[in-house]
Amino acid sequence: MPKPADAAYHWNGDQVDLELYLHRIGYSGPRTATSAVLRSLVAAHTTSIPFENLEAVLGRPVPLDLETLQDKLLRQRRGGYCYENVTVFAAVLERLGFGVTGLSGRVTMGADGLRPATHALLRVTTTDDDRIWIVDVGFGAGPAEPYALADSPAEFPLGEWRFRLAREFGELETEQWVLHQFAKDGWVDRYTFTLAPQYRVDYEVGNHFVATSPRSPFTRRPFVQRFHPDAHHILDGRVLTTEHPDGSGRSRELEPAELPEILAKVFDIELSDEDTAALLRAPWALD
């Protein structure tokens, strides 16, 4: 079936600054829509661009137009959360000729109860095989490779990290997929997702809740992540944690004054003096 002509169905790949993006993630390989290139791009993106919600903590809007995102994530060398990362990555993939469809997930992390579908990820197809790939460059904790959509609960490694994908059935016998990850508490379900297509306008709605609602955890305290093949760094409020693929890790509580140095050295995020002062005046730092 041909793609709809309506631009709202597309990802603005013609507007992406491809040279700037590839320089930002340190990629200099082929520019073809193959599974090998997809794997390389996912690895470079997830280990180069940090996850962060600092604009929402500061009470600022988080626009999803491509030019704003390119300025923030590529020129300023800041980071973003799932909607920001996925919007940029989808535009790059579309520009290179991949088949790209947005998806939405519900982050569970082993919790009980129903959570809103506020995680963005991508369904991607390539020109060199018939597999369907799931790409998640916006979770902040990898995986640093795409994973194939396959109806098998078997464990699979992505780099040194361990995952399982299972197909289940939810309400009204609707199909859903569950990604499990191995972490410090053993196996835990990370999120569920369906294959219902999501478009840029759908991400705008989810993004508005995440960035502005007092019910959103992202408006209440900093949540910053930096992912590497052998370590995952997390700043959750004042708590700095480092986790490793074998489930080991360590945590410590920071003093607010340590935040600028930690953001720069651990997470590769450098804030202006004004933004740093505003962040340290926010309610989370005064509790």
Please name every residue paired with 51 in a beta bridge, in sequence order, or none if there are none: 225
The predicted structure's pLDDT at residue 164 = 95
Q: Which residue range is the domain that position 153 belongs to?
A: 7-213
The SS3 assignment for 122 reads strand
218 located within any domain: no
Q: Which residues are catalytic?
A: 82, 119, 136
H or E, element range at 200: helix 200-212
In this prediction, residue 185 has a pLDDT band, given cuts at 50, 70 and 90, of confident
- The answer, yes or no, to whether residue 119 has pLDDT greater than 70, is yes
252 located within any domain: no
Total domains, the chain:
1
205 located within any domain: yes
User: What percent of the chain has a predicted confidence (pLDDT) above 70?
Assistant: 97
- 285 versus 229: the higher-pLDDT residue is 229
187 located within any domain: yes
The predicted structure's pLDDT at residue 4 = 61
Mean pLDDT of the chain: 94
Lookup: tokens for 274: 């004004």
- The answer, yes or no, to whether residue 3 has pLDDT greater than 70, is no
Q: Are 134 and 121 in contact (CB under 8 A)?
A: yes
- The answer, yes or no, to whether residue 144 has pLDDT greater than 70, is yes
184 located within any domain: yes
2 located within any domain: no
Q: Provide the CATH number for the domain around residue 75.
A: 3.30.2140.20
Please name every residue paired with 239 in a beta bridge, in sequence order, or none if there are none: 236, 253
- The answer, yes or no, to whether residue 152 has pLDDT greater than 80, is no
* Residue 145 CA, distance from chain mean position: 12
The SS3 assignment for 134 reads strand
In this prediction, residue 153 has a pLDDT band, given cuts at 50, 70 and 90, of low
276 located within any domain: no
Q: Are 116 and 104 in contact (CB under 8 A)?
A: no
- The answer, yes or no, to whether residue 110 has pLDDT greater than 70, is yes
In this prediction, residue 18 has a pLDDT band, given cuts at 50, 70 and 90, of very high
The predicted structure's pLDDT at residue 267 = 98
Cα Rg, the chain, nearest whole Å: 18
- The answer, yes or no, to whether residue 124 has pLDDT greater than 60, is yes
pLDDT in tens, 38-76: 999 999 999 999 999 999 999 999 999 999 999 999 999
179 located within any domain: yes
How does DSSP classify residue 255? P
